[in-house]
A and B are shown apart, each in its own frame.
Chain A
Amino acid sequence: MVKSWRFYRFMIGLALYALLAPVLAACAPAAPAAPTEIVLGAALPLTGGQAREGGYFKKGYELAIKEINDAGGIMVKEYNKKIPVKLIIYDDKSDNTTSVQLYEKLVTEDKVHALLGGYGTPLISAHTVVPEKYQVPYVNGGGATGEIYARNMKYIFGLLASIEKLAHTLMDWMAEQQDAGKLKKPVTIAVVGENSSHGKEFRKGVLDKAAAAPDRFKVVMDEPFELNLKDADPLLQKLKAANADVFLADARIADYTTIHRRYTELGLSHLIVSYGPRGTEKAARDALGAAADYIVSCNWWHPDIPTPEAKAFAEKYQKAYNERPEWFPALAYETARVMAKAIENAGTLDKTKVRDALAKTDLKPSLVVGGRVWFEANGQINNDYVMMQNLPGGKVALIYPKSVATADAIVPIPKK
């Protein structure tokens, strides 16, 4: 059989291709080599005063990263592959200076691609200067105070709505109680807050809302008080003299316990009592017993929020750690997920592009209240809070907003 010239030409071409292909491939512009892992870092208060909360954050971060790695890692379009995540967590010992040093170490020695936040306003205020200085994208789920986000920083993002918004939520809920005829109108308010940026923002939130609706609210007492209160009597004597209908306070657990014990001993009563984000904590309820019943509180998350995402997280967490989650690990878990999503959306590990992707975050469904994570221009989320009311027998009801409420609020508080 005589082969045609066309056949020989084809065979020669094939042989040349086989011979030259590796050489040509070697001369082509190289695609970027994918890193073997994406390094995320955080410094958490694992010992010292904030050890309990820091421990919860560690659990939340680790749970999220395990899930991401079990699914193969984060998809990075630039390398067209999923890259597993390595999480480095250091202990800042609840100390501001150590926290700053550890974030420096994460950036300069560990060469992290992005940073996850610590816990608590003082630590976060201190260490956020590091990611901003080195232009490393940073997300936290443990700092709510507006002062963290008021410094015009570009690389800092946070998943906790502001303390002012917490106060606004309380006031909006009271307005709803007025409209339902359960609370008189106008209602007189005594507001006190710990002498910190947290307390100041809470009081400002109450005052702003009261000024905007003088037909609904009249503030008759507005006082800061010292942290770690040793004697609540002077404050409570002022409260008694103010003769307000509603008592709103912003306090840490220790001060909440001290104040409310004396409040009860002095026989004070109001139509509504709130200590801001405090109220449902087991330690305080054990210390106060029935005196803590009917206190309303406002928080960032609760495992009873009736959404599939919140429920799924609560189950996963329970299974992993054999305990019911508080808001700390939930927000930590979502913080890590937000960072992973931003890297995926950026399609690269370029820090500026990941930062830009963070700024455009629109994560839904999410387990946060409202089911969506996005950031305002200052880097802070502006989602809803969930309000709770302590009920007798150590129970808690979600009372506001309606989308997550599990019961109607009991207003006014029954006289004891």
Chain B
Amino acid sequence: MSIDLPALIVSAVLLAGLYATMSYGLALIYGVMKIVNLAHAGVMMWGAYAAFLLVARLGVNPFLAPLLIVPLFFGLGILLQRFVVRHVMSAPPISSLLLLFGTWLIMQNIAYLLFSGDTRTITTPYTLLTLKVAGFAISVNRLLVFVVGVVALVSLQRFLGHTYLGKAIRATAQDSAASQLVGINTDRIMEIAFGIGTALAALAGTLMALIFAFDPDFGRSHLLKSFCIVVLGGLESFVGVALGALVLALAEALSILAVMPALQDFISFAILVIVLIVMPGGLMGLIGKLKPKGVLR
């Protein structure tokens, strides 16, 4: 039995785009607010249903749907931070964990009430269409999802690196107290960061809904995968997240050469454990360590 290795790698790279998109929001919120957003899974699920309503019920083009979904969830994220999360910011971490876990459960139950437990799918004009590129059959849907993921990364990097607001978010992420001293309204920055993180999670949900079937429990296993990616990437770096996503997608895909496909999740969590023990700073931490020694330039 000979596996088509190049096809497997191409597919893993495309999947990495999706993995990265679903992890940016988690990394941003952790970076700025130092809380683990367990409601991330619920937002991804709601993003999927928002896309379902727009595409299946209102006939909106699936790749234009994010233009409506992203601002909507940005606003929802701000409201969530202002009226819910802010109250536990100074409490021990377990408080925010429980609060956001409860928020996720509420979101899930609302979805069950509104949409029932039925499995839903979104069929687009590109579903099942493939492009033949250099002998590889590439799914148009997956390619477009990858492109949106890359555009999100580039936009995020430019926003954080080249705008006042972006720099303020980075400053707050590095040192909240010092940021306040130089006049940054960190409360406002945290709201905006939570809004952006929520919007990114909803964007990921929208994109995932174009590929996978979903129900109100959707997002649970993706959340765990996002944790692995964020830890692998180094917790606070978007480039690290993208790298982490690529490494994880490749590891999972190539693992079938050695283990059965049912152990793909095992691979993810084995990587999580190893990274936490061996290089707690993740890939970006490792790169940072290697740079001064001249190993990496």
Interface of A is mostly: helix
Whether B11 contacts A231 by the Cβ 8 Å rule is: yes
Per the CB 8 Å criterion, the residue count for chain B at the interface is 49
State which residues 7-39 of B face A: CB under 8 Å: 7-8, 11-12, 15
Partner of A257, one of B4, B213, B249, B253: B213
The reply to whether A224 and B262 contact each other, CB–CB distance below 8 Å, is yes
Q: Please state if A238 and B256 are interface contacts (CB–CB under 8 Å).
A: yes
Q: CB-CB contacts of B220-255 with A at 8 A, as 1s and 0s?
A: 111001000000000000000000000001001101
How far does the alpha carbon of A254 sit from the alpha carbon of B264 in the complex, in Å?
18
Cβ–Cβ < 8 Å partners of B121 in chain A:
257, 283-284, 286-287
B residues within 8 A CB of A47?
Answer: 109, 112-113, 117
Give the contacts of A286-326 with B (CB-CB under 8 A).
286-289, 291
Interface centre among A230, A240, A242 (most CB of B within 10 A): A230
Q: Given the complex, which residues of A lie within 8 Å of B109, measured CB to CB? A: 47
B42 CB to closest chain A CB, in angstroms?
A: 15
Partner of A266, one of B1, B15, B137, B222: B137
Closest to B2 in A: A241
Indicate the member of B249, B252, B262 with the most A CB atoms within 10 Å: B262
Question: Which listed residue, A51, A234, A242, A255, touches B117 by the CB 8 Å rule?
Answer: A51
Chain A: interface residue total (CB-CB under 8 A): 45
| Interface: A52 (CB within 8 A) | yes
Partner of B265, one of A226, A235, A264, A283: A226
Q: Is B214 in contact with chain A by the CB < 8 A criterion?
A: yes
Q: A231-B15, A231-B249, A237-B256 are in contact. Are A286 and B123 (CB under 8 A)?
A: yes
| Cβ distance B57 to chain A, nearest Cβ, rounded Å | 13
Q: Mark B248-276, 1 if CB is under 8 A from A, else 0.
A: 01001101100011111100000000000
Which of B130, B212, B217 touches A49 (beta carbons < 8 Å)?
A: B217
Q: Is the CB of B215 within 8 A of A240?
A: no
Q: Assess the A233–B137 pair: CB atoms within 8 A.
A: no
**Residues in A neighbouring B8, C-beta threshold 8 A:** 233-234, 237
Please state if B112 and A226 are interface contacts (CB–CB under 8 Å). no
Q: A69 on the interface (CB 8 Å rule)?
A: no
- Per a CB cutoff under 8 Å, which of B4, B113, B212 touches A230? B212
Asked if B128 is an interface residue, CB under 8 A from chain A, the answer is: yes
Which A residues are CB-close (under 8 A) to B264? 226, 230-231, 234
Query: Does chain A have a CB within 8 A of B179?
Result: no
Cβ contact of A289, chosen from B15, B117, B123, B252, cutoff 8 A? B123
1/0 per residue, CB under 8 A from A, across B91-125: the answer is 00000000000000000010011001111111100
Pairwise interchain contact B12-A228, C-beta atoms closer than 8 A:
no
A187 CA to B113 CA, complexed, in Å: 47
Complex CA–CA separation, A241 to B255 (angstroms): 15
In the bound complex, do residue B1 and residue A261 qualify as a contact, i.e. CB atoms below 8 Å apart? Answer: no
Complex CA–CA separation, A53 to B244 (angstroms) = 39
Distance in angstroms between the alpha carbons of A265 and B15 in the assembled complex: 15
Which residues of chain A come closer than 8 Å to B260, judged between CB atoms?
223-224
Query: Top 6 closest A-B pairs, CB basis?
Result: A287-B121, A254-B213, A224-B262, A234-B256, A233-B11, A51-B117
